[in-house]
Structure 1
């Protein structure tokens, strides 16, 4: 088996006839069953929009912390918006959590919190954006004078990605044996989350010696994630053949890397795979002071987490259960599942 995440030309799905669309959908589902990840190229997001999103992201993260903190992530874990400074979010906590919630409860959360007390910190900062119509998750914007045009662009980019996500949902449904629009009744686009990520420059020694990490190994907890990377590199996903071994995912300019989250894995009765991934040392380091210090480059990425409305009941999809594969998971609302996961990230 190849140790490379598959690359699929998504224009074959967008512009294909019924037979071609089904073929591409099955290829995507196979990639998700094996790797949990797939690179989609020639998708509907214009390269100019992606480039502008990265420019806007860099402008925000280049601001001093005092300015970024004028759009702070609210206290606690129930509202996931605004700026999270380095160390605020603890992704490593998810690694220690009970991932399945097989009984539809959060039993084990206290034990998980105790188990992660020793976890090393993640060296990243982020800014989260949602729909302006989501009253339960209100956006927290920086003052307009800090970044003129930022709010307008990011709001539009959010909805551009929401429409792309709808096409991916079509492909997912077809790929697992459902009608093309079966998942639309669970999707409004109002409850997704756009995340800008910045991994600051850091001494390589700190990462090599395990004193910190850029982001710990974890699984996402959305239905699926759409990710755009810059050219820095460093993303790794767990090998489909060797548990505990991670393989490098090279960035592809303007491609969208899509991965299944825990919610979709549960929804599909584990037919689709939610794969652990992390960000470590990039392949190329830079030297400072004539070789005195080896440092990483700054890294930027943009993630878009796709999910259902909070009160949607997540129970195993009909095409993913039969006598040989009974449902593994009890029904649960997205709200219950989301809060259980979020409570571990912001203790």
Structure 2
């Protein structure tokens, strides 16, 4: 194992901050890979500095996000998210989606849905030729340039995601290209999110929720967040206890999803996380600032059978039952709407 002391820059909220530039330029690939795997084992998350995603493109996508969500509701509703959660594209108004964890019992699902709704609005897009989930764009002339900017950012994020998969493979002592063979179809999702301003006390009392506690269901998630904060990650050593994952300027947050957890037979964590009121917030009017974030969900090809990587299981460590990506992800998406 390579010495990763000089690629790990510290931590925030119990999550390692790592210089990914040393992987991209080839100078310390194994050290970065090892440090990342350690962070994914410990917390399921990692902050990456020098991640290769150009800052001007990040800034531009946030501006497009603000422009879209500033449109009148009737304009945003011209590209509505279908009522079925299995077609995860288009615009969702505040309170429509209720992010859920593994809830398959009908009575339990009904109880979960009866809880406070997620007070956020979102817009999802993917690749243009996706046969499973075709994009649902605003009509031409509503917000010129939005579609092109979203697609450009989608493919830019995919390129960075593949570099991260290469590092994860090295950390797991696999060939660097191992995971890429299962991610050739770009079955991914770009989501822009807006959290309207709400009373701080209502968030703290859970009368309203920004995003409830959940894990992601793909391979990895890239997250860009503004300076407001509010992301919280469950402490793996204290179930039910959450730590703040504060914004770090210039950093990309990456977390492992359920698919990666199953692939590695729980060596890599898919950690529960949520969005609540920003920590230590003080406002004269008692309202939280509005918040914007951009997650990019990387998923393996829908036809991929997720079976535990050889060497991650034994008689003492039984493995997960194999499942196709399509079956797993569509089941999870279906219960969010």
Shorter-chain TM band: over 0.9
- Secondary structure, aligned partner of 1:320: coil
Checking the alignment, whether the CA contact within 8 Å between 2:222 and 2:255 is kept in structure 1 is yes
Structure 1, unaligned runs of 5 or more:
99-107
- Secondary structure, aligned partner of 1:318: coil
2:248 to 248, 252, 260: 252
Are 1:9 and 2:19 counterparts? yes
Counterpart position of 2:323: 332
Counterpart-to-counterpart distance in 2, 1:109 and 1:195: 28
Counterpart position of 2:5: none
1:241 to 216, 228, 237: 237
Counterpart-to-counterpart distance in 1, 2:242 and 2:145: 39
Structure 1 position 323, deviation (Å): 4.5
Counterpart-to-counterpart distance in 1, 2:153 and 2:328: 27
* 1:127-156 deviations in Å (ceiling 9; x for gaps): 001001112210011123121111111111
Counterpart position of 1:24: 32
Counterpart-to-counterpart distance in 2, 1:265 and 1:34: 13
Counterpart position of 1:220: 216
Counterpart-to-counterpart distance in 2, 1:3 and 1:194: 25
Counterpart-to-counterpart distance in 1, 2:245 and 2:238: 16
**Counterparts of 1:44-59 in structure 2 under 5 Å?**
44-59=52-67
TM-score (norm 1): 0.90
Counterpart position of 2:333: 342
Structure 1 position 3, deviation (Å): 4.5
Counterpart-to-counterpart distance in 2, 1:161 and 1:2: 23
Counterpart position of 1:315: 307
Counterpart-to-counterpart distance in 1, 2:244 and 2:178: 34
Higher mean displacement: 318-327 or 301-310 = 318-327
Are 1:113 and 2:104 counterparts? no
Structure 2, unaligned runs of 5 or more:
1-10
TM-score (norm 2): 0.93
Counterpart-to-counterpart distance in 2, 1:58 and 1:168: 28
Counterpart position of 2:144: 148
Counterpart-to-counterpart distance in 2, 1:83 and 1:55: 17
Counterpart-to-counterpart distance in 1, 2:300 and 2:108: 26
Are 1:158 and 2:154 counterparts? yes
* 1:8-58 deviations in Å (ceiling 9; x for gaps): 0000111124xx211110110110000000000101111000000000000
